[in-house]
Amino acid sequence: MPHDTQSMNQTRQSFTGLDSVWVFGYGSLIFKADFPFIERRPARIDHWQRRFWQGSHDHRGTPDAPGRVLTLVEVLGSSCKGMAYRVHPDVFAHLDHREKNGYLRFEAPFHFDDGSEVNGLVYIASDDNAAWLGPASEWDIAQHIAASEGPSGPNDEYVLRLAHALRELDEVDAHVFAIESHLQQLKLANAQTP
């Protein structure tokens, strides 16, 4: 699958006759909602976990030195809490561009804290896309992130802002928090180096 998935996403779902569509954010969409939305609610999707296994050639890295950003990997019995947005369908032109680096839109049920449920869309980058970096230890991921920067800023900023946003949602994500901890250790070590 190519890096740029915009045209693929534009053919995946039909929004004909819809006034609004739900979209789920599990990474930067939680803390950087740079699009208009009708409603925003904490939600979870089941059987998925966040992982920093996707390369970022266009936001938190460059084509020659991609950063690492989140995708979701399927893990039965798990759940992933994030933020659900109800948006007008024309917002997907912006979202498809923002998430163009290997992500495809998939349908999933979103579960809200009040017990209600809606079907919506979530962007997931699978292991068959050209920007896939794959698994690594959380220490290696942190070292990679600490050295990466792109047009949207330093890669470590993404992790730190996400970790803060997850705490505000009362979500404990061991993978994200371990990488955050390693990044803080690296910063401290670099500050102490003469």
Amino acid in position 45: I
3-state SS, residue 69: strand
Q: Of 39, 74, 99, 117, which residue is the catalytic one?
A: 99
187 phi and psi angles, rounded to 5 deg: -65, -45
Question: Chain centroid to CA 135: how far?
Answer: 16
99 part of the active site: yes
Rounded Cα distance between 54 and 102, Å, is 8
Rounded Cα distance between 75 and 69, Å, is 18
Rounded Cα distance between 145 and 78, Å, is 25
Question: Which residues participate in catalysis according to the annotation?
Answer: 99
